[in-house]
Amino acid sequence: MKKWLMTILLSLVVFSLAACSDDSDSTSGDSGEEDSTSENSGNEEETSSDSGETVALDFWIFGSTGYQELVDEYMEENPNVEITINEGEMNDMHNNLFTSISAGSGAPDIAQIEISQVEKFLEASDQFYNLNDYGANDVSGNFLDWKWAQAQNVDGSFQIGLPTDIGPTTMFYRTDVMEEAGLPTDREELAAEIDTWDAYYEAAKTVKAETGKFIADTPKLVFNALRDQQEQQYFNKDNELIIEETVKEAYDYTTKMIQEGLVGQNELWTPEWGTAMAEGTYATLPGAPGWMVANVKGNAPDASGLWDIASIPEGAGNWGGSFLTIPAESEYPQEAFDFISWLTAPEQQLRSFEIAGLFPSTPDVYENEEFLATTDEYFSGAPTAQIFAEAAQAVETVHMGVNYAVVDTELSTALTNVAVDGADPQDEWDAAVERINSQLERQ
């Protein structure tokens, strides 16, 4: 009687511990695409490759990548590979990756890392496989140089990840609002009309006067658009804070627009921001990259044909884009590398552009006739590929710095204070710089 009780109790203890450690394996609870069958498939795994046994790979992603379709395809072609996608919110995914790497267990076989976070993880390069050891050098020619360099250490000997998409910036705009304001609705004419930020400012005044609407609803987007055109942004190569020289101008421009009532006060990624997208309460989405396409379509499914894409005043920058990395915990680095080099190859990047609008980081594709002929009915039939490809050619390498997010958050707060509370821009700037410095001091 007591024996069986003890057995049950002991197994309960073991089970509860196992359940807990299992929890840390998943990025977020809401991933609907988790494949439960893969849990068991790893039972008979062997550490050697090519043995014909099933290889189970965990793959952590964020954002709207549409990778599931490609993963299914890959698994069909390689029946011995079982890939489980785990999708989470961007910050959560990076936090979980960071924690599991720091703890030394629970990291996936493949992790997507965003461009603003990649330097943080590069500092812990011993926690990742050097992809050069698996033949990354051979495929480096496929990718844009600046993108490739961003996932590298200083001397180029360590490659942490393979590039996925890039985010060359353009300007999305509402044709209905432009028409109401008496501005050109044709993308070429509009780009000619709004070819400088001064012209953008003038257009903002026209839109305000004619329709009462904003030229853009989010101060941060205007700021980002200008910031992403800078060759140096928050930090220089020596990791010194240089915002005073680089982005202060962008800040001043944005706050001027705010104070004159030309820009709204929504914050990025909030529900109100999404609603405004559907209702067309503003004219442009400046600095919008390829991956924003999926966001617009998701937030405003009924606005098809009301949006269009033009090039951005004064040249494109880059916003976002990711890399695929293999944390050192993975037991199958070779298989993982085979998969990510397949997934980031030009053909597959082309597919993910078609599926989710992720813009390829492989310049070969930009000359592909079929690719360039891609149009999007949602964006009034705009030749999206061509517009983004032109923007991509203009992008230069930017050193982001490990503490990019600290600076970005505080500047964002300053902009919000100016927009919502009508605070004095210079005071807010000074306060933000002070907050940034006190946080940087502790690094």
Q: Under the rule (CB under 8 A), what is the footprint of other proteins? A: 2, 5-6, 9-10, 12-13, 16-17, 20, 91, 95, 98, 101-102, 120, 123-124, 127, 265, 267, 270-272, 403, 405-406, 409, 412-413, 416-417, 420-421, 435, 438-439, 441-443
Please, which residue, 99 or 304, has the CB nearer to other proteins? Answer: 99
Please, which residue, 192 or 420, has the CB nearer to other proteins? Answer: 420
Please, which residue, 43 or 438, has the CB nearer to other proteins? Answer: 438
Please, which residue, 157 or 270, has the CB nearer to other proteins? Answer: 270
Please, which residue, 13 or 192, has the CB nearer to other proteins? Answer: 13
Q: At 18, give phi and psi (nearest 5°).
A: -60, -40
Nearest to 56 by CA among 33, 31, 78, 23: 78
Amino acid letter for position 373: A
CA-CA-CA-CA torsion sign (281, 282, 288, 290):
positive
User: Minimum CB separation from other proteins for residue 86, in Å?
Assistant: 19
Please, which residue, 242 or 423, has the CB nearer to other proteins? Answer: 423
Residue 110 and residue 337 in contact, taking contact as beta carbons nearer than 8 Å: no
Does residue 91 sit in helix, strand or coil?
A: helix
Please, which residue, 355 or 406, has the CB nearer to other proteins? Answer: 406
User: Minimum CB separation from other proteins for residue 175, in Å?
Assistant: 25
User: Minimum CB separation from other proteins for residue 442, in Å?
Assistant: 4
Distance from the first to the final alpha carbon of the chain: 59
- At how many degrees (to 10) do helices 67-77 and 333-343 cross? 120
User: Minimum CB separation from other proteins for residue 440, in Å?
Assistant: 8
Q: At 187, give phi and psi (nearest 5°).
A: -65, -35
Burial annotation 254-270 (CB, 10 A radius, 16+ → b, else e): bbebbeeebbbbbbeee
Nearest to 377 by CA among 283, 299, 312, 306: 306
User: Minimum CB separation from other proteins for residue 357, in Å?
Assistant: 25
CA-CA-CA-CA torsion sign (59, 64, 65, 68):
positive
User: Minimum CB separation from other proteins for residue 116, in Å?
Assistant: 12
User: Minimum CB separation from other proteins for residue 184, in Å?
Assistant: 30
Amino acid letter for position 419: A
